[in-house]
Amino acid sequence: MFLFNPIGFVESPYKESSEIPKGLGVKHDAEGVLKVLPEFELGLVDVDGFSHLFVIWAFDRITGFDLTACPPSDNRPHGVFATRSPRRPNPIGLTVVQLLGRDHVRLHVRGVDMLDGTPILDIKPYLSSVPQETLRRGWLAEAEARKA
């Protein structure tokens, strides 16, 4: 067993899941704030130098999970680990956001897809070293091709 305590909470414009854009080609450009708890402020030193951050968070408004999921971007089921479904055995979310600025414990970001008040488990700088030509997009590429 692992027990994680939030390091902060998301201030998001989204109060309900239905407000969050979903589906193929959707762009997440909503702005929000990652509000880190004061006892962790020292941990934010030098975060300002990064353009993008990984935010690791908890789907705190989900109970239970399914091993297959039908994502809004496709009409076919896929294994949950091949999707970003919130209904997963460990309800952990991962979002890449653009860091717009920092005001003490408040990180102003663009690209939130979490509900207001979502607990943040961790923040890490976004660094991608995967060459574009080696990336494969699995069923998503097929779903996009079918819609084109």
Ligand X SMILES: C[S@@+](CC[C@H](N)C(=O)[O-])C[C@H]1O[C@@H](n2cnc3c(N)ncnc32)[C@H](O)[C@@H]1O
Q: How far is the CB of 27 from ligand X (least distance, A)?
A: 13
User: Is residue 7 close enough to count as binding ligand X by CB under 6 A?
Assistant: no
Residue 94 interacts with ligand X (CB under 6 A): yes or no: yes
Burial class (CB in 10 A: 0-12, 13-18, 19+), 95: buried
Give the DSSP H or E segment for 96.
strand 92-103
What is the nearest approach in angstroms of ligand X to the Cβ of residue 113?
A: 5
Count of residues near ligand X by CB under 6 A: 16
Write the interaction track for ligand X spanning residues 37-66; mark x where CB under 6 A is met and - where it is not: ----------------------xxxx----
C-beta of 41 vs 94, nearer to ligand X: 94
**CB contact at 8 A, 88 and 40:** no
Q: What is the closest distance, in whole angstroms, from the C-beta atom of residue 79 to ligand X in the complex?
A: 15
Min separation Cβ 100 and ligand X, Å: 18
Least Å distance, CB 111 to ligand X, is 9
Instruction: Give me the sign of the Cα torsion angle 10, 11, 16, 19.
Output: negative
**C-alpha distances in angstroms, 53 versus 42, 59, 97?**
17, 18, 5
DSSP run (H or E) holding 72:
none
Backbone region of residue 22 per phi and psi (left: phi > 0; alpha: psi in -120 to 50; beta: other values): beta
Tell me if 20 contacts ligand X by CB under 6 A: yes
Binding site for ligand X (CB under 6 A): 17, 20, 22, 59-62, 84, 86, 93-95, 113-115, 118
